[in-house]
Chains A and B, each alone.
Chain A
Amino acid sequence: MSEMTLPFAPARETAATSYLGEGHTLTSWLLTTDHKRIAILYALSITVFFFIGGIVVGLVRLELISPTGWFMTSDEYNRAFSIHGIVMVWFFLVPSIPATMGNFILPMMIGAPDVAFPRLNLLSWYLYVIGAAFTVYVLLSGGVDTGWTFYPPFSTGYSNSNVIPAAVGVFVVGFSSIATGVNFLATVHMLRAPGMTWFRLPLFAWSMYTVSMVMVLATPVLAMSLLLISAERFFGFPIFDATIGGDPLLFQHIFWFYSHPAVYIMILPAMGVVSEVFACFARRRVFGYSFMVFALLVIAVVGFMVWGHHMFVAGQSPFANLVFSFLSFMVAVPSAIKVFNWTATLYRGQIGLEAPMLYALGFVGLFTIGGLTGLFLASVPIDIAATDSYFVVAHFHFIMVGGSVSAFMAGIHYWWPKVTGRLYNEFAAQCAAITMFIGFNLTFMPQFVMGWLGMPRRYHLYPDVFQIWHVLSSGGAAVLAVAYLLPLGYLGWSLIGGQRAGDNPWAATGLEWQTPSPPPRQNFLHPPRVTSEPYAYHEFGRAREQDGETSISGQGDVS
């Protein structure tokens, strides 16, 4: 028997006893405290918002085909990119991996029957929905035009749009992040299965732990920054009013104290997913496990000390610039360790190019480009030239879309059989993964070029010389849209016509694979016990060809 298996032979279960079978009414979903069902609720809601944000930015890309604009006023254009940013950052990217895969997989991965506070978990989803309702109201009542950053004095005194409802929406959804973070921290601390020591935690569990730290410590600061601008706008408390001694730059400090760590909220979970996928599809132990863990922790900690690099040209002291620049460079060290270790994990692995792996490979390439261009921007002289240009836009989209969204897709495909009990069409998924990689590069590579040539971000009208790059970028966005719609089709179809997956279709290690798919309400048929480190792929089905022969305990569904 391999390590990390359950010391029992589980009774055969029927599909009816899975978490999906426990009640089919609407209230059985809306009042559930099952972490798996809450994950599904989250997945559905963030998918809706992903497409809202996507449609809005589709309009933006369409508008930018012409240098003079052709169907939007400049005011509408401002509102479109603002809502794109707000929706994508707070209603998709921040909750994306933690609230869906984290909720579903984390407790199973560490051998727990649920998260530490199941009712708090449900509350977090309701907070998300309330925040989302405010955002939908903003969208329907004319939008907000401050950009996702809400900088005063524009947001406090001059904007004629729905700043306060938008801020309230983000404020409320922030508390859903905090609730999730508190829950995950307590879960990892208190509910690990016997034998699941800290350094036996799979890297995805570590990434959830570190991201929870960042969520818990950074999000309240965002809440306060939004509260202060709302107080100034609504009550007229002149907190950031420069005419009487206030300082708009203070807002930027408070805002970026959250919003830079927020980048790590988006990327740390992605790193966790990719580590799982690489180990599984290269049939290898993750190279340098403990370095991977410390890299996550260092990124989370140092990530709190670099916010000032967003204000190099905002009138910050040059000495502060120097320090923030240095610290921003420092973040590259743990990030590079991770990239090298992923590569080393692949080395001499038996690599299978299934869809999750394709997405994960795409992640590493795009994350590396995003990270390296981040170093350009961390250096003060280059940033002064490139500030607020499309170079910055391309850089952070490489991290957030090329990185986080690729990893999100990798995770969705990787755990899909576990969550639903069904297999999707592999070929369709591989096509979607490749289409996404091509579409992504076509969308954002031109933005690096035009940014470097001087195209400022957020501009509606632009000189003719940039048109070719905008047209290329818009074409790429169309390809990307196809790549995002494809999974809706074949994943949706798999629910109806997909093959039964069996407990462990990828022959993966990890406790979540040693229980029926879809899992029962209590996650495990018997309490799991862990006796070794994670990623024991050598002992667990050495070669892919042997997958058929590898006996995997706990055949859960009737197939």
Chain B
Amino acid sequence: MTDLARALQEPWPDLRMQREGVSLGMWFFLASEVLFFAALFCSYAIYRSYNPEAFRIAGAHTKVIYGSINTVLLLTSSLTMTVALRAATAQLRRVTLICLGITVALGLAFLITKGLEYHDDIEEHLVPGTGFPLSPPATQIFWGLYWIMTGIHAIHLSAGVVVVIAVMIIFGRRIIPVQGSTMEGVAIYWHFVDSVWIFLYPLIYLAGRA
């Protein structure tokens, strides 16, 4: 009971409302994030319709093996995140912490794979600018968007990893009990970052290989 009292924050009257409020707030923030990525997806769609051939050629040079590994890693991390959330609601502190740990590990594995992929891309000079190996020149638009889209996604995922580690520390030191409203917000955010990847994967890795 004292545990729960510590979970309650100003200005909420009770924990149920607070939990609902946090997830509502997070959904509003994600609505904002959706529009953020929407501007990017919209640019991609328009440029692909302007330069279909260039996008096909450019897309064929992406490293589908890295992308596929990452899709598996990220989807699995969403699974462990869901288990962590369920465990937290059931007040299973240890299970929550273990699942969060696996989630972080999977997130980091994603970022490492992404780093290896970036390394290969740079070796092949697939960075728009002078000496860009592909033609026609519109292939540079695809690769410009590639760096921006995957870069922003990676930044979002890194933020997610940092937040999950912070939450683990908070739970580990029992500053806030697991059944508070924290897990709710963290889990929704994590799933969002995961969902963005589900759209990025086909656009980047599969579109040029059809």
A237→B128 contact, CB < 8 A: yes
Q: CB distance A183 to B25 under 8 Å?
A: yes
B46 partner, pick from A118, A191, A247, beta carbons under 8 A: A247
Task: Answer yes or no: A185 CB below 8 A from chain B CBs.
Answer: yes
Q: Are B138 and A189 in contact (CB under 8 A)?
A: no
Identify which of B77-85, B93-101, B139-147, B191-199 touches chain A: B139-147
A residues in contact with B152, CB < 8 Å: 227
- Given the interface pairs A189-B24, A237-B148, the reply to whether A220 lies near B140 with Cβ below 8 Å is no
Query: Are B39's CB and A220's CB within 8 A?
Result: yes
Interface residues of B in 113-145 (CB under 8 A from A): 127-129, 136-138, 140-141, 143-145
Cross-chain contact A231 with B144 (CB below 8 angstroms) = yes
Q: Separation in Å of the B140 CB from the closest CB of chain A? A: 5
One of B29-37, B66-74, B172-180, B202-210 at the interface: B29-37
**A304 CB to closest chain B CB, in angstroms?**
10
Considering only residues 64-122 of chain A, those with a C-beta below 8 Å from chain B are: 112-118, 120
| Alpha-carbon separation in the docked complex, A250 to B43 (Å) | 7
Identify which of A227, A236, A245 contacts B50 (C-beta below 8 A): A245
- Report whether A216 and B31 are in contact in the complex, using a CB–CB cutoff of 8 Å: yes
Q: Of residues 197 to 250 in A, which have CB atoms within 8 Å of B's CB atoms?
A: 216-221, 223-225, 227-228, 231-232, 235-239, 241, 243-247, 250
B40 CB–A CB distance under 8 Å? yes
Cβ A247 vs Cβ B50 within 8 A: yes
CA distance A241 to B50 in the complex (A): 13
Min Cβ gap A176→B in Å is 12
A150 at the interface (CB under 8 A from B): no
What distance in Å separates the Cβ of A379 from its nearest Cβ neighbour in chain B? 27
The answer to whether B25 touches A116 (Cβ under 8 A) is yes
Chain B minimum-CB-distance residue to A184? B28
A217 near B128 (CB under 8 angstroms)? no
Residue of B whose beta carbon sits closest to that of A116? B21
Total inter-chain residue pairs, C-beta < 8 Å:
122
Q: Which of A219, A225, A239, A244 contacts B32 (CB 8 A)?
A: A219
- Asked whether any CB of chain A lies closer than 8 Å to the CB of B51, the reply is yes
Known contacts A178-B29, A236-B129; A220 and B141 CB within 8 A of each other? no
Decide yes or no whether B47 CB sits under 8 A from chain A: yes
Looking at chain B, what size class is its interface with the partner chain? 35 or more
Q: Which of B38-52 contact A (CB under 8 A)?
A: 38-40, 42-43, 46-47, 50-51
A254 CB within 8 Å of chain B: yes
- Smallest Cβ distance from B29 to chain A, in angstroms? 5
A536 within 8 Å of B (CB atoms): no
User: In the docked arrangement, what's the CA distance between A181 and B10, Å?
Assistant: 19
Q: Are B36 and A223 in contact (CB under 8 A)?
A: yes
Nearest-neighbour CB distance to chain B for A523, whole angstroms, equals: 9
Q: Is B35 a contact of A220 with CB atoms below 8 Å?
A: yes
Interchain CB contact under 8 A, B148 and A231 = yes
- Name the residue of chain B whose CB is nearest to the CB of A257: B39
Q: Which of A368-407 contact B (CB under 8 A)?
A: none
Give B33's nearest chain A residue, CB to CB.
Answer: A220
A236 touches B128 (CB 8 A): yes
Q: Does A182 contact B (CB under 8 A)?
A: yes
Question: Does A33 make an interface contact (CB < 8 A)?
Answer: yes
**Residues in A neighbouring B25, C-beta threshold 8 A:** 116-117, 120, 182-183, 185-186
B17 in the interface (beta carbon within 8 A): yes
Asked whether A113 lies within 8 Å of B11 as measured between CB atoms, the reply is yes
| A16 on the B face (CB < 8 A) | no
- B20 close to A (CB within 8 Å): yes
Contact call A190/B24, Cβ cutoff below 8 A:
yes
CB of A221 within 8 A of CB of B28, answer no
Report if B157 contacts A (CB, 8 A). no
CB distance from B81 to the nearest CB of A (A): 22
B39: which A residues are within 8 A, CB to CB? 220-221, 224-225, 254, 257
A535 to B69, CA, bound (A): 61
* Distance of A349 from chain B, by nearest CB (Å): 36
Q: Does B164 contact A (CB under 8 A)?
A: no
As a 0/1 sequence over residues 8 to 36 of chain A, the CB contacts with chain B under 8 angstroms (1 = contact) are: 00000000000000000000000001000
Tell me which residues across on chain A come within 8 A of B31, comparing CB atoms: 216-217
Are B11 and A246 in contact (CB-based, < 8 A)? Answer: no
The contact string, 1 if C-beta is below 8 Å from chain A, for chain B 146-177, is 01100010000000000000000000000000
Q: Which residues of A contact B141 (CB under 8 A)?
A: 238-239, 241, 244-246
Chain A proximity of B196: nearest CB distance (Å): 13
Contact A245 B138 (CB under 8 A): yes
B147 touches A237 (CB 8 A): yes
A239 and B140 alpha carbons, distance in the complex (Å): 8
In the complex with contacts A247-B50, A250-B43, A217-B140 CB distance below 8 A: no
Q: Is the CB of A237 within 8 A of B137?
A: no
Distance A186 CA – B17 CA, assembled complex (angstroms): 11
Q: Does B104 make an interface contact (CB < 8 A)? A: no
Neighbouring B residues of A182 by C-beta, 8 Å = 25, 28-29, 32
- On whether the beta carbons of A33 and B28 are closer than 8 Å, the reply is no
Q: Are B129 and A178 in contact (CB under 8 A)?
A: no
Shortest CB-to-CB span from A32 to chain B, Å, is 12
Within 8 Å by CB of B145, from A183, A185, A239, lies A239
The CA-CA distance from A559 to B124 in the complex, in Å, is 78
Instruction: Name A178's closest neighbour in chain B (CB-CB).
Output: B32
Q: How far is the CA of A315 from the CA of B40 in the complex (A)?
A: 22
Task: List B contacts of A181 (CB < 8 A).
Answer: 28, 32
A sample of 24 cross-chain residue pairs with beta-carbon separation below 8 angstroms, ordered by A number, consists of A112-B11, A118-B11, A120-B25, A182-B29, A182-B32, A185-B25, A186-B21, A186-B28, A189-B24, A190-B21, A216-B31, A217-B35, A227-B152, A228-B43, A228-B148, A231-B144, A236-B128, A236-B129, A239-B144, A241-B141, A243-B137, A244-B137, A245-B137, A247-B47
Apart from A112-B11, A237-B145, what are 10 other A-B pairs with CB-CB below 8 Å? A185-B25, A219-B32, A220-B35, A220-B36, A224-B37, A227-B152, A235-B129, A237-B140, A239-B148, A250-B46
A contact set with B: CB distance below 8 Å: 33, 112-118, 120, 178, 181-183, 185-186, 189-191, 216-221, 223-225, 227-228, 231-232, 235-239, 241, 243-247, 250, 254, 257
Q: Which 10 A-B pairs have the closest CB atoms?
A: A237-B144, A245-B138, A220-B36, A224-B39, A244-B137, A114-B11, A186-B25, A113-B11, A190-B21, A220-B35
